[in-house]
C-alpha cells in the first residue's frame, strides 16, 4: 500500500537462484522494486536499477548489472520484478542493489534506495582468485540491551510479561526493508536459525543508528527458576559489523508458588540382617549374610499418581544408578498406592552382600514412567553399609 505523499522507490526483495551458487557458473538474480508512494512515476521518466558485487553503491555509479525502467511501468503502489545473471567468484560475496541509481526520479525519501548487503556463499574455487571481502566496517550492529520480567518475582502458573529491548549500536541504520526476527528462549541457549519460545518480526525501518526498540509478550512460567535468553537477527538477515553479539547473557528469574504435580522420592533405606545375633545392628550387613532390605518411598507432590500409572523402584549395590538401569532388586509399584502425601514401604528378605563394606542406592520411578514436577530427586544414596 502507498505510504508516502509522493513517489518513493524501494527494493522489496532480492533473490539469488540457487541460494548457494557454484563459482563461475551463471546464477540468476531476481530483484523486485516497488513504488510505495502515493504518486506515479511520470510516464516519460526512466531510471536505472543496479546490482553491485562486494561494493557499496555510490550515486551515479554503474553496477555489475544495470536495468532500465520506464516511468509508465511504476504507478503508485505498483511493483516490478527484474531478472538477470551473475557469475560470482567462490567464497563469501556481498550483494547490494540500488534503485534510481542516478537520482533521475524526484522522490519524497531518497535514503531508502539501497538494499543490502545480502550475503551469498558461493561454492567452489574461482578460476581467478579474489580476496575474501571483509564485512563492511560501516554497518548496523544489533544487540539485546535488556531483558526484564514484570512482575519481577512472578508466580508459577500465573501470566507474567517478558520485556526485551534491542539496539542498533552500529554506524549505519538497518535498511528499511531489511527485516529480521527477535527470539526469546526459556532454559535453552539460542542457536542461529532456531526459533525461540516467543518470536517477533522486526521491521528494519525501526532500527536507525542508535535506536532502541522494546517488545513485550505474556508468558506463564511452570518451574521455580528459569534462565531466559534472547537472540536478535536470528536468521542472520542483517549483515553487521559484529555477528557474534546477537545473543544475550542468561537472565535468571526466580518464580514463586508451588507447582502442581507428582513428586516421588525415596525417604529411607533400611538394611537389617536376618540373624538375631547382637553384633548385627541396624544399617549393617556382613559378607555372606542374608539381609532384609526395606525402602520407603513417598509422593511429596500435591497430585496423586494416576491409578494405573505403575512404575519401578530399584535397589543398587556399589554404583550410582543411571536412568532406566535395573538394580540388584526391583519392585513394581501400583500407581493407585501413591496418592498425594502418601508413603509406601517395600521389603525383601533375600539380599546377600558379598563384601564387608558396600555403598547402596535406591531409585524410584526408574524408567520415568511417571511425569513429575521434579525428575532430579528420584535417587537416594549413597548409604554406606558394614
Which residue shows C-alpha cell 498425594?
340
Structure confidence at residue 2 (pLDDT): 44
**Chain segment 139-188, per-residue pLDDT in tens:** 999 999 999 999 988 998 899 999 999 999 999 999 888 889 999 999 99
Same-domain pairing of 161 and 250: yes
User: Does residue 129 lie within any of the structural domains?
Assistant: no
CATH code of residue 147: 2.60.40.10
Same-domain pairing of 28 and 50: yes
Structure confidence at residue 137 (pLDDT): 65
Same-domain pairing of 348 and 287: yes
Structure confidence at residue 289 (pLDDT): 56
Average pLDDT of every residue of the chain: 87
**Chain segment 8-21, per-residue pLDDT in tens:** 999 999 999 999 89
Q: What's the order of all strands across the beta sheet hosting 290-299?
A: 264-273, 290-299, 343-352
Between 386 and 50, name the one with better pLDDT.
50
pLDDT band, very low/low/confident/very high, at 286 (cuts 50, 70, 90): very low
Span 332-359, average pLDDT: 86
Same-domain pairing of 268 and 379: yes
Structure confidence at residue 296 (pLDDT): 97
- Among 87, 122, 157, where does a domain finish? 122
Among 216, 203, 148, which Cα is nearest to 175's?
Answer: 203
Is 67:47 a contact under the CB 8 Å cutoff? no
Same-domain pairing of 248 and 276: no
Say yes or no to pLDDT of 79 above 50. Answer: yes
Residue 349: Cβ-neighbour burial (10 angstroms; 0-12, 13-18, 19+): exposed
Span 197-215, average pLDDT: 93
Same-domain pairing of 268 and 249: no
Span 278-290, average pLDDT: 45
User: Does residue 2 lie within any of the structural domains?
Assistant: no
The answer to whether the Cα torsion of 35, 37, 40, 41 is positive or negative is: negative
Q: What are phi and psi of 33, to 5 degrees?
A: -110, 155
**Chain segment 14-60, per-residue pLDDT in tens:** 999 999 899 889 999 999 999 999 999 998 888 999 999 988 887 77
C-alpha cell at 353: 552382600
Same-domain pairing of 112 and 147: no
Same-domain pairing of 114 and 154: no
**Chain segment 258-268, per-residue pLDDT in tens:** 778 899 999 99
Same-domain pairing of 239 and 280: no
Q: What are phi and psi of 150, to 5 degrees?
A: -125, 125
- 33 Cβ contact partners less than 8 Å away, ≥ 6 residues apart: 9, 10, 11, 12, 49, 69, 74, 79, 80, 81, 82, 99
**Domain range enclosing 42:** 9-122
| d(C-alpha 308, C-alpha 297), whole Å | 18
Between 156 and 363, name the one with better pLDDT.
363
Say yes or no to pLDDT of 132 above 90. Answer: no
- Among 68, 89, 122, where does a domain finish? 122
Same-domain pairing of 304 and 339: yes
Entry pTM: 0.45
The string of DSSP codes covering 175-216 is PTT--EEEEEEESS---TT---SEEEEE-GGG--TT-EEEEE
pLDDT band, very low/low/confident/very high, at 281 (cuts 50, 70, 90): very low
Q: Specify the range with the lowest mean pLDDT, choosing from 36-45, 123-132, 370-379.
A: 123-132
- Among 254, 273, 305, where does a domain finish? 254
Structure confidence at residue 325 (pLDDT): 94
Same-domain pairing of 13 and 112: yes
Domains in the chain, number? 3
Same-domain pairing of 113 and 46: yes
Say yes or no to pLDDT of 330 above 80. Answer: yes
User: Does residue 185 lie within any of the structural domains?
Assistant: yes
Is 242:202 a contact under the CB 8 Å cutoff? no
**Chain segment 94-120, per-residue pLDDT in tens:** 999 999 998 899 998 888 899 988 989
Amino acid at each position: 500500500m502507498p505510504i508516502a505523499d509522493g513517489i518513493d522507490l524501494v527494493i522489496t526483495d532480492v533473490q539469488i537462484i540457487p541460494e548457494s551458487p557454484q563459482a563461475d557458473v551463471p546464477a540468476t538474480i531476481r530483484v523486485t522494486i516497488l513504488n510505495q508512494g502515493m504518486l506515479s512515476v511520470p510516464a516519460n521518466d526512466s531510471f536505472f536499477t543496479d546490482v553491485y558485487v562486494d561494493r557499496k553503491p555510490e550515486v551515479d555509479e554503474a553496477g555489475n548489472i544495470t536495468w532500465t525502467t520506464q516511468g509508465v511501468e511504476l504507478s503508485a503502489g505498483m511493483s516490478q520484478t527484474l531478472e538477470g545473471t551473475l557469475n560470482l567468484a567462490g567464497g563469501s560475496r556481498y550483494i547490494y542493489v540500488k534503485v534510481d541509481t542516478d537520482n533521475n526520479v524526484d522522490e519524497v525519501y531518497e535514503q531508502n534506495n539501497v538494499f543490502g548487503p545480502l550475503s551469498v556463499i558461493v561454492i567452489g574455487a574461482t578460476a581467478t582468485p579474489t580476496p575474501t571481502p571483509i564485512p563492511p566496517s560501516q554497518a548496523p550492529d544489533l544487540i539485546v540491551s535488556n531483558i526484564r520480567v514484570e512482575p519481577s518475582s512472578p508466580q508459577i502458573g500465573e501470566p507474567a510479561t517478558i520485556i526485551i529491548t534491542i539496539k542498533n549500536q552500529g554506524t549505519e541504520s538497518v535498511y528499511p526493508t531489511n527485516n529480521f526476527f527477535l527470539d526469546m528462549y526459556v532454559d535453552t541457549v539460542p542457536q542461529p536459525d532456531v526459533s525461540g519460545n516467543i518470536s517477533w518480526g522486526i521491521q528494519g525501518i525501526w532500527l536507525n543508528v542508535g535506536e532502541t526498540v522494546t517488545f513485550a509478550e505474556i508468558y506463564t512460567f511452570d518451574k521455580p527458576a528459569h534462565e531466559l535468553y534472547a537472540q536478535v537477527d536470528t536468521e542472520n538477515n542483517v549483515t553487521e559489523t559484529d555477528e557474534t553479539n546477537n545473543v544475550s547473557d542468561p537472565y535468571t528469574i526466580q518464580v514463586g508458588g508451588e507447582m502442581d504435580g507428582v513428586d516421588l522420592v525415596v525417604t529411607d533405606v533400611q538394611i537389617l540382617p536376618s540373624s538375631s545375633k547382637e553384633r548385627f545392628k541396624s544399617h549393617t550387613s556382613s559378607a555372606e549374610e542374608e539381609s532384609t532390605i526395606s525402602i520407603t518411598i513417598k509422593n511429596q507432590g500435591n497430585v496423586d499418581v494416576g491409578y494405573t500409572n505403575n512404575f519401578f523402584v530399584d535397589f543398587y549395590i556399589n554404583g550410582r544408578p543411571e536412568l532406566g538401569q535395573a538394580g540388584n532388586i526391583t519392585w513394581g509399584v501400583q500407581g493407585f498406592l501413591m496418592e498425594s502425601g502418601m508413603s509406601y514401604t517395600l521389603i525383601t528378605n533375600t539380599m546377600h552382600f558379598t563384601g564387608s563394606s558396600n555403598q547402596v542406592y535406591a531409585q524410584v520411578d526408574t524408567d520415568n514412567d511417571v511425569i513429575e514436577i521434579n525428575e532430579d530427586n528420584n535417587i537416594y544414596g549413597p548409604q554406606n553399609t558394614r
